[in-house]
Chains A and B, each alone.
Chain A
């Protein structure tokens, strides 16, 4: 006993299958996102995705078609086969145009070709929606019907209360799937890898299912190939009852629909990754069609034989296995049909939603918001929302149509009506890519006429006599105008209604298109687009050809470098190349990139110039590229030159400022030096004067008594010593100030240093009385003892010279405080006037007018010495007499003995 096709099991399998599709789509999206999507772009996947041409109508309807009309169903496959094989170059042109113009839908393509006409876009979108809605309804109906077929065969299942619920759930599920995977990427040029992969899987499932049923029928029921062929021969269906007009008409129709169906355009052009895939598809897709049609006649014939006459031939694919108890096979067949239906609906919904959103919703929204949405993120959000709503709306429309029509009409009829509707795009499409003279008016006129005739002759009557079109109108014409009878226009009768509608609609469509195009003048934009479309291979040859594209990008880069500078240009190009997924630094010069480049350039040279420069390189150049580059070169050089000059000028200003500062400093130094030299000169010349004068007196001899001679010699000697001391001091000061002094660090007691200084000044013989505290002086020092003694000598000598007290006294006080050793030299004289205290340590400063033989360098030397010894010397005001404090850091003091 074979597996019973229980309804519950069916629902479970169905859900499992849908889950699998979700997984496939999700995995493919992820792979594409992570750049592992190489296999997603295989020509096989492309070919399989084209199989959405084979919808539930093909899956179920073809058998029904064959059961009713014999081999005529083959015309539905013949048209696409002829297009794929015989018009390969035309398809390639379509694909090329789609890529170069970044076309998002057939509405976009037609609108773009005819001067980016909004009216045309809306019109085409409406026709597409009207033409496709019944088709979507048809898919829902087929899924519902197949459910019903299985349910009838399940004795345990409660009878389906309402088929429409199934249709609703299917519609909702498809809407979710489509929204999830169809609006993931905004950019229509970024393909829907997930969706494409899912429909490729479905393509395999439906082919395998139909062939499985076929194999079962031929070998299981028909008793082998020979037996089955015999049955077919016996059946009336197998005979070539060829109605020439219908065959030609239907073949033409299917060929046209293959090109113009929105969903076919979506997979054929928009989702195409590589033109070269067409080469594979041109033989693989006809092969697919052949395989899927192979068992149609045997299934139809065997079905007619084995099933009761009341059985719906449209369900033979299911009902034949079911009648034989082949539940599993039936279920497989159901999945095949389910796949056919869902894949068609998904792609159709994406295609239609793109059109509705781009050409109807977004323009309205932009107008309503008054173009206030300058924020790109804002618009992006709105676009995605609009797409999602559009998808839901398209599916809702299909479901509504299904509810309203009640699912009565035969599947095949609905399919053909749809075909004929979208076939109205054909003249505008073909004319657009083949004829430069085609104009927007032509397209509008042709489409309007064809669409009107299609509605009148085919769509309205297809609802059934009496629904929209009454019996009277059908036979007498509206208002009794016989020439307007829907199936006998202009009184021409005896033609099959379908062929009739095709002939008249296409005749008026094409005729109106051509005539209106001839009498109207295209706008400049139309001309431009026309040339771009018709001559797409010439125009895009360089961009498509790898070497050519690179050469053009190279030109752009060379130009950009001259304007933006090498670093910025290369960064820009590299970034764009990465964005396009290309290796290296040369991106494809697509419109996006060119726009971006123009923006960058316009920052430097202005928008018009930028546009002209890019245009000259990209378009047919009337001014040579070399000329433009020369101009750019000159400009850049001038700019560079001027910026260099600017930099130089700034540098000069800076240098001048520095020079002025240096000059001021030098002047100041020079003044100081002059003053110093002047002082030295004075200090040297004064003793020299005495020496010279007296030595001349002595030399001249004459009346100089011996006592005077001796005195003058003494003066000469004294002044010579004074001179020597002055020179010593000067040298000493110079060495100290230049920091060239080398210290002779030794350890010694402070008291000994003072003893030495006192001895050197010859204090014992003078009038100055000295007060010392020998106990406090027992401090061990580690310093240059000689230099320290020199300071002490200076201070003691100063007291000797300048202390003006009657009984001059000098007190040397020693104390340690705050880590420092303080040695104070205080005399009992008048002290130094407050004003002079500040300059007492400056060179050549003399406090009193009194001549004391000093040159005024002593204290300056003391200050320098103390600085070298890490100590200091300062004047101590308010001590009665002159008071100096010598400070030494205590770190230099060793343990007191």
Chain B
């Protein structure tokens, strides 16, 4: 049983792609597709890592990240942020809020896998 990863993303095609790639790499993948109850899902699933999209329906990725970092259980949870708005200020915002890693869409599959391995050593 590999490490658990929770993918919080609203675009179905992207969820499917990421799920396929991570599963093939040996991760146990769970997905969540809106912002409203994303934090609850994290707390419930207790993943080893979270992949978090910025633009989510209901609640933005930044708000969710702030929430997670504010909780003892998740303060040190590795979070890889993904965004389609690839501007510098988005990256700065993510780093300030405590994102473990920040990647711009479209990403290369290998890059994502490598980042995950770094964030959660086997």
Instruction: Using CB atoms and an 8 Å cutoff, list the residues of chain A in contact with chain B.
Output: 678, 681-686, 688-694, 696-697, 700, 702-703, 708, 715, 719, 849, 851
Map CB proximity to A onto B1-28 as digits: 1 under 8 Å, 0 otherwise. Answer: 0000000001111101110110010000
A-contacting residues, B41-98, CB 8 Å: 55, 57-58, 84-87
Nearest residue (CB) in A for B10 is A851
4 additional A-B pairs beyond A678-B87, A689-B105, A697-B17, beta carbons within 8 Å, are A685-B86, A689-B84, A693-B17, A693-B21
Residues B17 and A694 in contact, CB atoms below 8 Å apart:
yes
Residues A693 and B109 in contact, CB atoms below 8 Å apart:
yes
Show 21 A/B contacts (Cβ-Cβ < 8 Å), sorted by A.
A681-B87, A682-B55, A682-B84, A685-B104, A685-B105, A686-B11, A686-B14, A686-B84, A689-B17, A689-B107, A690-B17, A691-B106, A692-B107, A693-B21, A696-B110, A697-B20, A715-B16, A719-B13, A849-B10, A849-B34, A849-B57
Please pick, from A685, A691, A692, A708, the residue contacting B108 in the complex, using a CB distance under 8 A: A692
A682 to B56, CA, bound (A): 12
Residues A692 and B106 in contact, CB atoms below 8 Å apart:
yes
A684 to B105, CA, bound (A): 10
- Minimum CB–CB distance from B73 to chain A (whole Å) comes to 28
Contacts of A688 in B (CB 8 A): 105-106
Q: A678-B85, A851-B11 are in contact. Are A689 and B106 (CB under 8 A)?
A: yes
A-B contact count (CB 8 A): 68
B: interface residue count bin: 20 to 34
A696 to B113, CA, bound (A): 13
A689 to B18, CA, bound (A): 10
Nearest residue (CB) in A for B20 is A697
Residues B87 and A715 in contact, CB atoms below 8 Å apart:
no
A696 to B109, CA, bound (A): 7
Contacts of B85 in A (CB 8 A): 678, 681-682, 685
A692 to B87, CA, bound (A): 20
A684 to B10, CA, bound (A): 16
Contacts of A700 in B (CB 8 A): 109
Residues B17 and A681 in contact, CB atoms below 8 Å apart:
no
A702 to B12, CA, bound (A): 23
A631 to B9, CA, bound (A): 85
Contacts of A678 in B (CB 8 A): 85, 87
A90 to B74, CA, bound (A): 126
A691 to B105, CA, bound (A): 11
Contacts of A690 in B (CB 8 A): 11, 13-14, 17
Residues A681 and B57 in contact, CB atoms below 8 Å apart:
no
Residues B105 and A686 in contact, CB atoms below 8 Å apart:
yes
- Minimum CB–CB distance from B86 to chain A (whole Å) comes to 6
- Minimum CB–CB distance from A856 to chain B (whole Å) comes to 13
Nearest residue (CB) in A for B18 is A693
Q: A678-B87, A849-B57, A849-B58 are in contact. Are A697 and B109 (CB under 8 A)?
A: yes
Nearest residue (CB) in A for B57 is A849
Residues A685 and B84 in contact, CB atoms below 8 Å apart:
yes
The 8 closest A-B pairs by CB, nearest first: A693-B17, A849-B57, A685-B84, A690-B13, A692-B106, A689-B105, A689-B106, A682-B84
Residues A696 and B108 in contact, CB atoms below 8 Å apart:
yes
- Minimum CB–CB distance from A688 to chain B (whole Å) comes to 4
Residues A681 and B86 in contact, CB atoms below 8 Å apart:
yes
A654 to B118, CA, bound (A): 59
A849 to B55, CA, bound (A): 11
A681 to B84, CA, bound (A): 7
Nearest residue (CB) in A for B16 is A715
Contacts of B14 in A (CB 8 A): 686, 689-690, 693
Contacts of A703 in B (CB 8 A): 24
- Minimum CB–CB distance from A419 to chain B (whole Å) comes to 116
A696 to B14, CA, bound (A): 13
Nearest residue (CB) in B for A711 is B16
- Minimum CB–CB distance from A207 to chain B (whole Å) comes to 117
- Minimum CB–CB distance from A615 to chain B (whole Å) comes to 77
